């Protein structure tokens, strides 16, 4: 099916929240990695989310240009063109964008969607993330409210973060003193400020010890019960309709039990990047080691074109990453949950 429209994306989120499953959201940097996600989702019969970070967008634009918005547009255009060849819905999202990069990344992408809508074309991206977690909460929400108002006018969902995800991603590193746990008081203020934008939809990345990066299971100390405390506080204050659709960042090294518990407390989207990076790279390394004489012109020899043709090892990488996508879908209870079924156009 084509990239999900606003109505379909909202249905996806609501269905995940009520059905206690979540959508994996995969960071991509190229056509090959985007294709791997689409393949894995289709083989799992699961809808999902493809997302681009500031660094991923800069990479996709090429090392000479490094235009993060341009690269994100190029990836989104590709997904729009090929998504209808896969029997699932996919949403397009942008990952962590801090306040100092909004004018270089999220704002140009919103402007592109506004131009597209004026011409009768679908939105370029379905949702964007503003990461104001490094700011005081008031400043974070002051920016978020204005962004949400603008996004709502173009049927774009906004994701925000309260609390800080530890570790490092795309060169952005959390400070040692960062607040790694969102409090009920934080989420009450989020609900008060953002729910004032009537009819707007947003996602909340609440933090419960999450850390970006590579970790063995058990090394990251998560406290999913924090999510329950936050949800309970908001529902008590504002009613069941105020329950958050939550996002789980920094999931590498999380145990299946921790992931399952987070989903039970309202996580509908889990970001995945580190694990799929490795899944994509592993078969490339394997190919190079097994075909060393073929990929290099050793001692004046010509090598083997079949060995050094990028299509050979990138096809293997795409397949391996698709398998990791399928594992993520399974971990999040999403197998066979696609809206693309009889009676669900």
pLDDT band for position 197 (50/70/90)? very high
- On whether residue 345 sits in a domain, the answer given is no
pLDDT value at 90 more than 80: yes
pTM of the model: 0.92
Residue 214 has pLDDT above 90, yes or no: no
Mean pLDDT of 214-222: 56
pLDDT digits (tens, 9 = 90+) for 5-45: 999 999 999 999 999 999 999 999 999 999 999 999 999 99
The model's pLDDT over 102-134, given as tens digits with 9 standing for 90+, comes to 999 999 999 999 999 999 999 999 999 999 988
Share of the chain above pLDDT 70, in %: 89
> Would the pLDDT of 217 be above 60?
no
pLDDT at 341: 74
- How far apart CA 230 and CA 187 sit, in angstroms, is 6
Tell me: the pLDDT tens digits for 138-173? 999 999 999 999 999 999 999 999 965 544 455 545
pLDDT higher than threshold 80 for residue 328: yes
> Which residues have a catalytic role annotated?
95
Whether residue 153 is contained in a domain is answered as yes
Tens digit of pLDDT for each residue in 235-244? 999 999 999 9
Give me the chain's average pLDDT, please. Answer: 91
Indicate whether 294 belongs to any domain. Answer: no
| Domain annotation covers residue 167 | yes
Q: What is the CATH number of the domain that holds 158?
A: 3.20.20.70
Predicted pLDDT of residue 176: 42
Q: Is residue 119 part of a domain?
A: yes
**Three-state SS across the chain?**
CCCCCHHHHHHHHHHHHHHCCCEEEEECCCHHHHHHHHHHHHHHCCCEEEEECHHHHHHHCCCCCCCHHHHHHHHHHHHHHHHHHCCCCEEEEECCCEHHHCCCCHHHHHHHHHHHHHCCCCCCCCEEEEECCCCCHHHHHHHHHHHHHHHHHCCCEEEEEECCCECEECCEECCCCCCCECCHHHHHHHHHHHCCCCCCCEEEEECECCECCCCCCCCCCCCCHHHHHHHHHHHHHHCHHHCCCEEECCCCCCCHHHHHHHHHCCEEEEEECHHHHHHHHHHHHHHHHHCHHHHCCHHHCCCCHHHHCHHHHHHHHHHHHHHHHHHHHHHCCCCCCCCCECCEC
Residue 306 is assigned to a structural domain of this protein: no
- pLDDT of residue 177 exceeding 50, the answer is no
Query: Does residue 134 lie in a domain region?
Result: yes
Which residues pair with residue 129 across a beta bridge? Answer: 159
CA–CA distance, 37 with 44 (Å, rounded to integer): 11
Domain housing 275: 6-283+325-331
Number of domains into which the chain is organized:
1
Within a domain: residue 50? yes
């Amino acid at each position: 099916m084509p990239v999900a429209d606003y109505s379909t994306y909202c249905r996806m989120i609501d269905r995940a929240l009520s059905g206690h499953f979540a959508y994996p959201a995969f960071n991509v940097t190229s056509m090959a990695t985007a294709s791997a996600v689409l393949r894995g989702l289709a083989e799992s019969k699961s809808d999902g989310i493809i997302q681009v970070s500031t660094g991923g967008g800069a990479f996709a634009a090429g090392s000479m240009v490094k235009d993060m918005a341009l690269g994100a547009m190029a990836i989104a255009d590709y997904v729009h063109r090929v998504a209808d060849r896969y029997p699932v819905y996919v949403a397009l999202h942008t990952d962590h964008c801090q306040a100092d990069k909004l004018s270089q990344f999220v704002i140009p992408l919103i402007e592109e969607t506004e131009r597209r809508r004026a011409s009768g074309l679908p939105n370029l991206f379905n949702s964007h993330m503003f990461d104001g977690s490094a700011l005081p909460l008031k400043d974070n929400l002051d920016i978020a409210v204005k962004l949400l108002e603008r996004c709502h006018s173009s049927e774009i969902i906004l994701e925000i973060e309260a609390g800080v995800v530890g570790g490092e991603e795309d060169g952005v590193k959390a400070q040692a003193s960062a607040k790694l746990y969102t409090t009920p008081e934080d989420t009450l203020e989020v609900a008060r400020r953002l729910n004032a934008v009537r009819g707007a939809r947003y996602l909340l990345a609440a933090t419960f010890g999450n850390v970006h990066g590579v970790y063995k299971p058990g090394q990251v100390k998560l406290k999913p019960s924090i999510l329950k405390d936050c949800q309970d506080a908001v529902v008590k204050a504002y009613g069941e309709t105020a329950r958050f659709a939550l996002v789980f960042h920094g999931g590498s090294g999380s145990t299946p039990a921790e992931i399952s518990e987070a989903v039970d407390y309202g996580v509908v989207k889990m970001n995945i990047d580190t694990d799929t990076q490795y899944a994509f790279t592993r078969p490339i390394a394997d190919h190079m080691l097994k075909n060393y004489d073929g990929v290099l012109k050793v001692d004046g020899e010509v090598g083997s074109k079949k060995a050094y043709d990028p299509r050979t090892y990138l096809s293997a990488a795409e397949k391996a990453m698709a398998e990791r996508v399928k594992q993520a879908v399974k971990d999040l209870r999403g197998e066979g949950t696609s809206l693309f079924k009889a009676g669900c156009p």
